Amino acid sequence: MQRAENGGFGAWCPDLPGCVAAGDSEAGAVAEMAKAIEVHLEGLRQGGLTIPYPTAIAATIVTDAA
């Protein structure tokens, strides 16, 4: 996840190229990313395509709080 210059947040899924989401907050971006992953996987299933096995399972949150 990355903070945008406008204050929003963007997220992407490295194992699902093109699967991205954005939100006004970290929680909003995470919620949108969960929906985006569901839609992306359903599209792969409907297209008869292989769902890739995850290469990594991790989450990183960086804040500027001291």
Domains of the chain, by residue range, sit at: 1-66
The encoded tokens of residue 29 equal 């971006």
| 27 phi/psi in degrees, rounded to 5 | -65, -40
pLDDT bucket at 2, cuts 50 / 70 / 90: confident
Query: How large is the average pLDDT for residues 44-66?
Result: 80
Cβ–Cβ under 8 Å, residues 20 and 12: yes
User: Which of 16, 4, 13, 6 lies closest to 59 in space, CA to CA?
Assistant: 13
pLDDT per residue as tens digits for the range 10-40: 999 989 999 999 999 999 999 999 999 999 9
Topology (CATH level 3) of domain 1-66: Double Stranded RNA Binding Domain (3.30.160)
Instruction: Look at 61 and 21; give whichever has higher pLDDT.
Output: 21
**Can you give the pLDDT at residue 7?**
84
Burial of residue 66 (CB within 10 Å: 0-12, 13-18, 19+) is exposed
